């Protein structure tokens, strides 16, 4: 296996990061091994906290993530060593007891809110991508997702978005856009931008 490529895909909540990562994976799945890692799975363990305390955590602040563990796992994968990745259960606001065994891959796609915000992560990334989607579109997508997939109540979603999600986006996520090599407006619907990105990836793989 050639030296792995690590691609960071950042952007606001529900901007389309996962869809873009999956599109890239599908593009190279026939000839290369592609691995998607979600920063969300590296939320800090909150087993010591009661549920009423967990719901008060600001999950849209960089401090909510265990980047030390994430960086350690990325370095291992880039060195050709498998890892056991944590998984996160949004319904209980804590890590699941289930871990996922990850083998090294030729292309590693790291997607998450803050994958461009932390300099240590940026230093590991060969390509840095920012998904730039309008705020109202992101809110609507988040609303639908959190109700259908995460069992959240409407009032809770609106309150969280108003009090933390929007504030933290403007404070941490939007400024990280300046570190991006590629900015993709409108998420996965931007076929031209994704084609350019996959062409760049292919050129690195075959260099």
pLDDT for 135-173, tens place per residue?
999 999 989 988 988 878 888 889 889 999 999 999 999
Average pLDDT over residues 78-94: 93
Q: Return all residues near 203 (Cβ < 8 A) that are at least 6 apart.
A: none
Sketch the domain layout of the chain as residue ranges. 5-205
Whether residue 28 is predicted with pLDDT greater than 70 in this model: the reply is: yes
pLDDT at 104 over 80: yes
Which class in CATH covers the domain with range 5-205? alpha beta
Interval 30-84: pLDDT, tens:
656 899 999 999 999 998 999 888 888 899 999 999 999 999 999 999 999 999 9
For the stretch 106-127, pLDDT in tens is 999 999 999 999 999 999 999 9
Give residue 189's pLDDT band: very low, low, confident or very high (50, 70, 90).
Answer: confident
pTM here is 0.90
Given this model, what pLDDT does residue 203 score? 84
Query: Is 197's pLDDT higher than 80?
Result: yes
pLDDT category of residue 180 using cuts at 50, 70 and 90:
very high
């Amino acid at each position: 296996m050639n030296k792995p490529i690590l691609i960071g895909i950042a952007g606001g909540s529900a901007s389309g990061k996962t869809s873009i990562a999956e599109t890239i994976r599908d593009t190279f799945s026939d000839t290369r091994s592609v691995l998607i890692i979600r920063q969300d799975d590296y939320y800090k363990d909150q087993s010591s906290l009661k549920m009423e305390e967990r719901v008060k955590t600001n999950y849209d602040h960089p401090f909510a993530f265990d980047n030390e563990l994430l960086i350690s796992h990325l370095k291992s994968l880039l060195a050709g060593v498998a890892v056991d990745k944590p998984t996160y259960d949004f319904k209980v606001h804590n890590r699941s007891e289930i871990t996922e065994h990850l083998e090294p891959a030729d292309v590693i796609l790291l997607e998450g809110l803050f994958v461009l915000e932390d300099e240590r992560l940026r230093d590991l990334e060969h390509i840095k991508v920012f998904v730039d989607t309008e705020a109202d579109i992101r809110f609507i997508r988040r609303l639908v997702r959190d109700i259908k997939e995460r069992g959240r109540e409407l009032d809770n979603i609106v309150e969280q978005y108003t009090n933390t999600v929007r504030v933290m986006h403007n404070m941490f996520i939007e400024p990280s856009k300046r570190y991006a090599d590629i900015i993709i407006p409108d998420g996965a619907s931007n076929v031209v931008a994704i084609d350019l990105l996959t062409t760049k990836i292919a050129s690195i793989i075959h260099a």
